[in-house]
Amino acid sequence: ALSQRLREQQPARLGTDTLVYAVASGKGGVGKSSVAANLAVALARTGKRVGLLDADVWGYSVPQLFGVRRSPVALKGLMLPVDAHGVRLMSVGFLVGDGEPVVWRGPMLHKALEQFLTDVHWGELDVLLVDLPPGTGDVTLSLLELLPRAALLAVTTPQVSAQTVATRAGRMAADLRMPLAGVVENMSTLVCECCGERTALFGSGGGQRLADDLGTELLARIPLDAALRHAGDTGVPVVAGAPDAPSALALSDLAARL
Ligand code: ADP
């Protein structure tokens, strides 16, 4: 029902059939970018045509997570997204030098984000994932305005403090009349590499509480997994590099539910 509703509203320049998910979190460090990147790869592995727009302006990490050092090429005034691990990528990080900070002010940022949607040749996409900056700031609001069709996918950890700030992001979505796709709880349990035992390092229940608060579903619980961290550091998303790792299995299940 949700996918039907999303298809009925139409964003600029994207095909009518493209489902748009905005991946959001209340604060940084909960694994929002890792979830967005791996979800994109997992969806691509099911045969879908997937784009990932890294709009986490100050904390962009998609080039690193995908091991991409190339810049997008321009063709007839449009930028071509960079293909990696089966996903079409565009990142703020591609537009600034290696390791450079983004020092644009509000109006320039807004313009850049707009161009990501209008001047990028995404081609036919089944799904576009947007990795939002954490919180409910200007960039998030600009983007959501530009993507009236997006559904919010809220990422939190099981910890109460993370869940309460994530609730604010979720409420923002409700205020903007955005549909909620659901909640992803990341860093749910720590899986012991030796014996497989699971420990609730960051407590438990935050994902379910957030889903209840927002009146939506808890779609996935992704364990804390050294394989995911290692994959991110080496530029091969865990879903592609170690598809049997506990986090990769949970992320593939999540892809199947969207
Ligand atoms: P955010 O986008 O919310 O700031 P990141 O995706 O950058 O968070 O993740 C923050 C850090 O936590 C990164 O070093 C990442 O590798 C690590 N991380 C995220 N999720 C997991 C997980 N499930 N297991 C292990 N490490 C994780």
Q: What is the mean pLDDT of the chain?
A: 88
- pTM here? 0.92
Residue 209: CATH number of its domain: 3.40.50.300
Statement: residue 207 has pLDDT above 50: yes
DSSP notation for 46-96: TT--EEEEE--SSS--HHHHTT--PPPPEETTEEPPEEETTEEEEEHHHHS
- Judged on CB neighbours under 10 Å (0-12, 13-18, 19+), 103 is exposed
Measured in angstroms, how far is the CA atom of residue 29 from the centroid of ligand 1? Answer: 6
Q: What is the 3-state secondary structure (H, E, C) of 152-207?
A: EEEEECCCHHHHHHHHHHHHHHHHCCCCEEEEEEEEEEEECCCCCCEECCCCCCHH
β-strands 218-224, 87-91 pairing: unpaired
Q: Is the complex ipTM higher than 0.85? A: yes
Counting from 1 in the atom list of ligand 1, the atom nearest the Cα of 188 is 23
pLDDT in tens, 55-81: 988 888 999 999 998 888 888 888 899
DSSP bridge pairs for 83: 88
User: From the CB of 205, is ligand 1 less than 6 Å away?
Assistant: no
Answer yes or no: is pLDDT of 49 > 80: yes
Average pLDDT over residues 197-212: 91
Closest CA to 239 of 5, 43, 73, 91: 43
Amino acid identity at 5: R
Higher pLDDT residue, 195 or 38? 38
Q: Which two tokens stand for residue 144?
A: 């959501």
* Span 224-238, average pLDDT: 93
Residue nearest to atom 15 of ligand 1 (CA): 229
Q: What is the pLDDT of residues 133-189, one digit of tens each?
A: 998 888 888 888 888 789 999 999 999 888 888 888 888 888 888 889 999 999 999
Looking at the 3D structure of the chain, how many domains does it have? 1
Residue numbers of the domain that contains 156: 2-257
